[in-house]
Chain A
Amino acid sequence: GAVVSQHPSRVICKSGTSVKIECRSLDFQATTMFWYRQFPKQSLMLMATSNEGSKATYEQGVEKDKFLINHASLTLSTLTVTSAHPEDSSFYICSARDEGQSYNEQFFGPGTRLTVL
């Protein structure tokens, strides 16, 4: 089956630093990837849709200058949390859409737990 990886799986950083999270589709090409954020005991909230070779589309209320998304290739999207603060601490999950599937199934990465001190 299609596999999506994320790196790192866990990161702890100081307030004010920037953190980059990578999302890779390992055995399929994904022109579209999605980034979600999940707070403890809550659901996943879609942050943005990442399109290869173009600007990401952000959901309402998500700061595009705070969460920089770059989808530079058909297998890699990155999310950079700039000047991270404790309130950015969360579980960040990416998914990649396999356009080869007729129903556009998304495959999810294992998530990255960010803790900002």
Chain B
Amino acid sequence: SQQGEEDPQALSIQEGENATMNCSYKTSINNLQWYRQNSGRGLVHLILIRSNEREKHSGRLRVTLDTSKKSSSLLITASRAADTASYFCATGSGGYNKLIFGAGTRLAVHP
């Protein structure tokens, strides 16, 4: 079962602009991860943020986590056409760190 919601469902921007995607979840977590998926392909792991962390950076990616609000955001700065993909958050919980995925945001970056 899907745990969380992501918004927006779809986002269309121009190259060079920033893209922000939000994710909310319902239960306690070990960590929250963001993945990227190009159409019809497998998942690419982008970044993991632990439940005791508030912010993390990786290249043009910035992830925040607010456990009090049970929400996270992914910011992609200076977007490129190649960033066009679907982005999913996934919360890890339990001993096996089982991942439950959000609904995803479809990002389109136009040249």
Contacts and interface: CB of A to CB of B under 8 A. Distances in A.
Partners in one complex: yes
Interface of A: 32, 34, 36, 41-46, 49, 59-61, 91, 93, 95, 97, 103-111, 113
Interface of B: 1-2, 30-31, 33, 35, 40-43, 45, 48, 50, 88, 90, 92, 96-104, 106
A32 B100 contact: no
Contacts, number: 61
A49 B96 contact: yes
- B interface SS class: strand
A10 B2 CA distance: 25
B40 A113 contact: yes
Given A44-B101, A45-B2, A103 B41 contact: no
A61 B102 CA distance: 18
B1 A93 contact: no
B1 A44 contact: no
A41 B104 CA distance: 9
A109 B41 CA distance: 10
Given A105-B45, A105-B48, A111-B41, 13 more contacts: A32-B96, A44-B43, A44-B101, A45-B1, A45-B2, A46-B100, A97-B96, A103-B50, A104-B30, A105-B33, A108-B35, A111-B42, A113-B40
